A and B are shown apart, each in its own frame.
Chain A
């Protein structure tokens, strides 16, 4: 019995030690779902958690063990900064929105205005998700809000869910970032949203205040702003962080 207890104690101490060591060595980056493909190309040595920026912000408020927070907008990091939960956010890239339809285009959509067709199945992200709020801004800018919103059949939790449902062919159309559309070539057709209707889509990044690895986290943020990382973002279809 005593020997068993000793074995259990030692095993649990070892497990705890291993977990602590792993936690110390590897940085954890919470990043917007739209960064899923590009971030590992910029730095593959850290751990990533990709989700809707709003979900990640809520998790950080609940004390999630993130070191870096990269959001698809500036509002969420600014809110966390105001609460002292993250350092001052910096914009590291920009993006645009597009409409995507399945390659077969079952609802025969060729412009944003076609989204008014009664009965079509449009999928957008929830209003709290950055891409969902950008979508609502576009519809407002184009005076399409009520006509198009009545075709919404689902409000997804992040942009990649919207992408998946259109790429699968289950939905007739969806609003995503132009960078998301590029990750499923051959499965969707892109319909441009006019430049005048585009919202200001800026991605901001910050170090989480409670992070035990703040130096390494700050280094990750600095790296994002440097030429090499910026080139990879632009290669993936993102826009330069400062408008030229």
Chain B
């Protein structure tokens, strides 16, 4: 009896969880007809915001990839005092409320901030906010995937005469590519959704700093159709990014699995 009750409880909880998580997303699409959605996609508010969003997120991702990848490799491959503290610091923006990130960016890069830059209210400010908030998603995943690269393979490449740079580009990078791509897709999705830090640090101006989430907020009390259309658009983009994450995680190079299976173990 109690066993049946337990299993029934599990099913009920799963059903409630799924319903609760899926309902708001389904509701967006029941509120807006496909015709309205397509129609509103031509609305300049939506197209301008989409352009600002894609441009700033793409710029931020390039920054994150170029700087974050080598940093993640160092943190993953070297052991030194303070390493754990450094990794924790990298992860801090992940758990920080976006509004705090916005205040921090103002305090650091504001006109009256530490560095006295003229970044606030420019499109570059959006890029900086996105890089700050989304970057850690990539760096953290990148550290994890560099750590899973078999160190024997790296050592083998080095004994065969490859320098550290060649080993990195020819062995480590290809082996870690699945995890790196997954982290990148996650960071891209988080970047597209950035709101709090952006509105505080960069403000909101159509064609310049108004991203898709900011446009939702600005249009919320003006035209609900537009808000639903942007939301539906973001659901579709985010869903495809999530699928990308799943596929990328499964994108494991054959070299690694063969090495794990057939290479003689040296650990014993």
Contacts of B2 in A (CB 8 A): 1-2
Contacts of B183 in A (CB 8 A): none
Q: Which of B63-71, B129-137, B214-222 interfaces with chain A? A: B214-222
Convert A103-130 into 0s and 1s, putting 1 for each residue whose CB lies closer than 8 angstroms to a CB of B: 0001000000000000001010010100
Chain B interface mostly helix, strand, loop or mixed?
loop
CA distance A152 to B209 in the complex (A): 12
A154 x B209 contact (CB < 8 A): yes
CA distance A154 to B111 in the complex (A): 15
Convert B17-55 into 0s and 1s, putting 1 for each residue whose CB lies closer than 8 angstroms to a CB of A: 000000000000000000000000000000000000000
**Chain A: CB-nearest residue to B3:** A1
**Chain B: CB-nearest residue to A59:** B221
Q: Does A160 contact B (CB under 8 A)?
A: no
B218 x A155 contact (CB < 8 A): yes
Q: Does A94 contact B (CB under 8 A)?
A: no
A170-B220 CB under 8 A given contacts A1-B5, A154-B121: no
Q: Does A157 contact B (CB under 8 A)?
A: yes
Shortest Cβ gap from A194 to chain B (Å): 27
**Chain B: CB-nearest residue to A157:** B217
Shortest Cβ gap from A189 to chain B (Å): 15
Q: Which of A41-90 contact B (CB under 8 A)?
A: 52, 54-55, 57-58
CA distance A57 to B220 in the complex (A): 10
Q: Select which of A58, A157, A170 is within 8 A of B111 by beta carbon.
A: A170
CA distance A154 to B200 in the complex (A): 10
Q: Select which of B6, B110, B206 is within 8 A of A168 by beta carbon.
A: B110
Instruction: Give the size of the chain A interface in residues (CB under 8 angstroms).
Output: 23
Contacts of A106 in B (CB 8 A): 111
Shortest Cβ gap from A121 to chain B (Å): 6
Q: Does A171 contact B (CB under 8 A)?
A: yes
A170-B218 CB under 8 A given contacts A153-B205, A154-B204, A165-B203: no
Q: Which of A1-40 contact B (CB under 8 A)?
A: 1-2
Q: Does B178 contact A (CB under 8 A)?
A: no
Contacts of B112 in A (CB 8 A): 168-170
For chain B, give the interface size range: 20 to 34
A126 x B218 contact (CB < 8 A): yes
CA distance A154 to B209 in the complex (A): 8
Contacts of B199 in A (CB 8 A): 157
CA distance A54 to B223 in the complex (A): 12
A58 x B221 contact (CB < 8 A): yes
A121-B222 CB under 8 A given contacts A154-B203, A165-B203, A169-B112: no
Q: Select which of B204, B205, B220 is within 8 A of A55 by beta carbon.
A: B220
A170 x B110 contact (CB < 8 A): yes
Contacts of B205 in A (CB 8 A): 152-155
A156 x B221 contact (CB < 8 A): no
Contacts of A168 in B (CB 8 A): 106, 110, 112
Q: Select which of A1, A58, A170 is within 8 A of B121 by beta carbon.
A: A170
Contacts of A58 in B (CB 8 A): 220-221, 224
A54 x B221 contact (CB < 8 A): yes
**Chain B: CB-nearest residue to A56:** B221
A55-B221 CB under 8 A given contacts A123-B203, A155-B205, A168-B112: yes
CA distance A58 to B222 in the complex (A): 8
Contacts of A123 in B (CB 8 A): 121, 203
Q: Which of B101-121 contact A (CB under 8 A)?
A: 106, 110-112, 120-121
B residues in contact (CB < 8 Å) with A: 2, 5-6, 106, 110-112, 120-121, 199, 202-206, 208-209, 217-218, 220-222, 224
7 closest Cβ pairs, A-B complex: A154-B203, A58-B221, A153-B121, A169-B112, A54-B221, A170-B120, A1-B2
Q: A58-B224, A170-B106, A170-B121 are in contact. List 10 more A-B contacts (CB 8 A).
A: A1-B5, A58-B220, A153-B208, A154-B121, A154-B202, A154-B205, A155-B206, A155-B218, A165-B203, A169-B111
